[in-house]
A and B are shown apart, each in its own frame.
Chain A
């Protein structure tokens, strides 16, 4: 596979890779490194890419695996620290400011979901993949994807409703 051909096939989904990586790794720098690393890996395996039905799905699976590995690896302890710092509620004033910003609230709610649900929400509601595609990328049954997604959406909805009512009363 030539470089131009390679770039034509893999570049269209670089933003998706980046966003998924960022969803899982939280930090932008980490996500950028992950994207870079992933494309480097794809380039090294460029001759094998033809064997895959969908290169995009393959790349997504690779992204998922890479990010999970990163989270499990030693550096993950650092990441976890950032992550939990992020969840810290801080002073009441700070909290209030954060709550007012409902978009950042949704961001936090999604980040608090289990890894799998987080990933599925990202793939479905932000990247707009079909259930079959997500199932293939995550090596799951389509029904399992639906169940996880439904759970994730309901969790977010519940939390949002709670916050919403709290704001009114």
Chain B
């Protein structure tokens, strides 16, 4: 392409009056080997544009939200809370029951020892009666 027309195009380019096709023409000129020496500063500019155009988005796009759904998290948390409160309550109940059971056990134990004391007294009484029977012979019936 003629140098004169390139210069004219550049002029238009700087005033932002070139069309896409004309800009492509300019780009092709500056990407080619033989660029006029006084226009060389444009080379890096157009070179940069065409390399930038090749940059790609390489990651895969996810359409589903990757964010944690806080609504569901709160539901889960409340469920956990309910369960833990419930089990805690259960545990507490059981402990209370055990305590009551132990107290009752102790009370029964005390009752039993006291009863045994009574038993011993009764057995002594029995002994006393036997001896009485020996001393005073009982008339036969």
Contact = CB atoms under 8 A, between A and B. Distances in A.
Do A and B interact?
yes
B56 to A, nearest CB: 5
B8 interface: no
B16 A39 contact: no
A15 B14 contact: no
Interface stretch (B60-68, B77-85, B120-128, B133-141): B60-68
Interface string B29-69: 00000000000111111011101110111010111010000
Interface string B7-28: 0000001111100100100000
Given A36-B59, A40-B65, A157-B14, A126 B20 contact: no
Nearest to A11: B61
A142 B52 CA distance: 24
A43 B63 contact: yes
B62 A160 contact: no
Q: Is the interface of A mostly helix, strand, loop or mixed?
A: helix
Contact of B45 (A11, A130, A145, A156): A156
16 contacts: A15-B55, A19-B52, A32-B57, A35-B59, A102-B47, A103-B47, A105-B44, A125-B49, A128-B20, A145-B16, A150-B15, A150-B16, A157-B41, A157-B45, A160-B45, A161-B41
Interface of B: 13-17, 20, 23, 40-45, 47-49, 51-53, 55-57, 59, 61-63, 65
Interface of A: 3, 6, 11, 14-15, 17-19, 22, 32, 35-36, 39-40, 43, 102-103, 105-107, 110, 124-128, 130, 145-147, 149-150, 153-154, 156-157, 160-161, 163-164
